Structure 1
Amino acid sequence: MNDRVIVVTGGHGVLGRAVVEAALARGLRAAVIDHASGGSAPGEALEIGGVDLTDAAAAEAAMARVVERFGAIDALLNIAGAFVWQTTDDAAPAWDRMFALNLTTALNASRAALPHLKRSTEGRIVNVGSAAALKAGAGMGAYAASKAAVHSLTQALAEELKTTSVTVNAVLPSIIDTPANRADMPDADPARWVAPADLAEVMLFLASPDSRAMTGALMPVTGRV
């Protein structure tokens, strides 16, 4: 039985559930942190709902609950976030919302988890960036800019933590095969997209001791798009 403890933010989403289910199958201990309340975490995962990760104090309280239950945090997987397609001249710009939900959540969760991660012999932070942030298309400005900020956070934090046990990496998926994306793009071939279970495998590798030689990496996971 693996006694490593992983924390998954946004754990009720399609990708979050795939990661938690795969982690539990490996014998990892998992905690799910999500803004939604009243949800059900997979298996034996610790459920922590109703958490606003844009609030630093709420993030700290959630991590404290994980440590109270499991005694440690070994890996943080920052999946919480959101997407919007919106042209720059939209009457109700979503830039602040995208930065709050994609960057601030990852920043606050990471800051709250760091004291615990540093006590792990193999601490890990895995962020979710986006391949779209490498070259933003029309309507992708707010989302791509917020994810580019996640990339920079990943690289800067990796440099800051090089004298510790903690590594920081990010995955950069293209289109993830979710019900919402299938509904929005009915004419596309989802077999070319990234399956949540496949992305979960990459993220759990980065969250494992086996990835100790990697830090500051931005790993494209783009299927065949």
Structure 2
Amino acid sequence: MDNSLNGKVVAVTGGFGALGSAVGKVLAEHGMQVVLLGREAPPQMPKDSGNNSMAIGGVDLTSLVQTQQAFAEIKTRFGRLDALINVAGGFRWEPVIGGHSETWDLMYQVNLKTALTASEAAIPFLLENGMGRIVNIGAMAGLKAGLGMGAYAASKAALARFTEALSEELKHKGITVNAILPSTIDTAKNRADMPDADFTKWVKPEQIGSIIAFLLSSDADAITGALLPVAGRV
């Protein structure tokens, strides 16, 4: 088993949700020191996590000032930052015809700006190490939009272009930037919203966590600017 992640410090935005918390758990199992970031009040961290995990709540990730303060807190606590996972995001189903421009603004704020702001806050600390990892959570919808997914798909397509552009800027500085493009993720909310679907075909949060762990490892040194489809059996 690759042990290059042992002791490394990773920040996970949207860390209190179903996907973010699952990703954090998988990375902790790989020996990483995990910091979960979110807008809501922070959850109670597991007792067995000791000093190897941390939750920072009340962070508006669209605010650069608040986000920089949170990352400064991470640096104070752990002395370093090695990786950033941009999970924070949201979904809104709405047709283009009869829809609202505010929905497009919202999707860009939660799906693109949060990743941009967190990356801006994290990169100075990653550069201090001379190496680092950024992984963004995109979506298969960013490649082809479905009915009612115009605003969401456009924001995820923008996240993909952001991933590619940032990877070009950082590839000679030791920092890789990649994105995972899941299809439907098997969460309690998605099951409730789509009760007639075949859940067995969906991607499990833990599977996404394992793929992220690989992208953070030394085995993935040569991968940057990649948009990796993780479609399960959909």
**Cα drift, residue 41 of structure 1:** 3.9
Q: Residue in 2 aligned with 1:22?
A: 26
**Is this contact kept in 1: 2:9–2:82, CA < 8 A?**
yes
Q: Residue in 2 aligned with 1:31?
A: 35
Q: Residue in 2 aligned with 1:97?
A: 106
Q: Residue in 1 aligned with 2:196?
A: 187
2:180 aligned with 1:176, yes or no?
Answer: no
CA shift in 2, pair 1:28/1:38, >3 Å: closer
Q: Which of the numbers 83, 94, 97 marks the counterpart of 2:91?
A: 83
Q: Residue in 1 aligned with 2:17?
A: 13
Structure 2: segments with no counterpart, 5+ residues: none
Q: Which of the numbers 33, 54, 65 marks the counterpart of 2:62?
A: 54
**Cα drift, residue 3 of structure 1:** 1.5
**Is this contact kept in 1: 2:178–2:224, CA < 8 A?**
yes
C-alpha separation in 1, matches of 2:118 and 2:177: 13
Q: Which of the numbers 209, 215, 227 marks the counterpart of 1:206?
A: 215
**Cα drift, residue 175 of structure 1:** 0.1
**Is this contact kept in 2: 1:32–1:41, CA < 8 A?**
no
C-alpha separation in 2, matches of 1:147 and 1:212: 25
RMSD of aligned C-alpha atoms? Answer: 1.3
1:155-203, Cα deviation, whole Å (9 max, x unpaired): 0000001210100000000000001110111111111000000011011
SS of residue paired to 2:214: helix
SS of residue paired to 2:128: coil
Q: Which of the numbers 67, 82, 103 marks the counterpart of 2:75?
A: 67
**Cα drift, residue 49 of structure 1:** 0.2
Q: Residue in 2 aligned with 1:118?
A: 127
- TM-score, reference length from structure 2: 0.93
Letter in 2 for 1:87: P
CA shift in 2, pair 1:102/1:115, >3 Å: same
C-alpha separation in 2, matches of 1:92 and 1:144: 14
Q: Residue in 2 aligned with 1:158?
A: 167
Question: How many residues of Structure 1 are paired with residues of Structure 2 in the alignment?
Answer: 225
**Cα drift, residue 119 of structure 1:** 2.1
Letter in 1 for 2:69: A
C-alpha separation in 1, matches of 2:225 and 2:74: 26
SS of residue paired to 2:190: helix
Runs of 4+ aligned residues of structure 1 deviating over 3 Å after TM superposition are 41-44
- TM-score, reference length from structure 1: 0.96
**Cα drift, residue 27 of structure 1:** 1.3
C-alpha separation in 2, matches of 1:210 and 1:121: 17
C-alpha separation in 1, matches of 2:162 and 2:107: 15
2:147 aligned with 1:143, yes or no?
Answer: no
C-alpha separation in 1, matches of 2:193 and 2:154: 22
**Is this contact kept in 1: 2:42–2:56, CA < 8 A?**
no
Q: Which of the numbers 205, 219, 224 marks the counterpart of 2:228?
A: 219
**Cα drift, residue 91 of structure 1:** 4.7
C-alpha separation in 2, matches of 1:48 and 1:209: 28
**Cα drift, residue 92 of structure 1:** 6.7
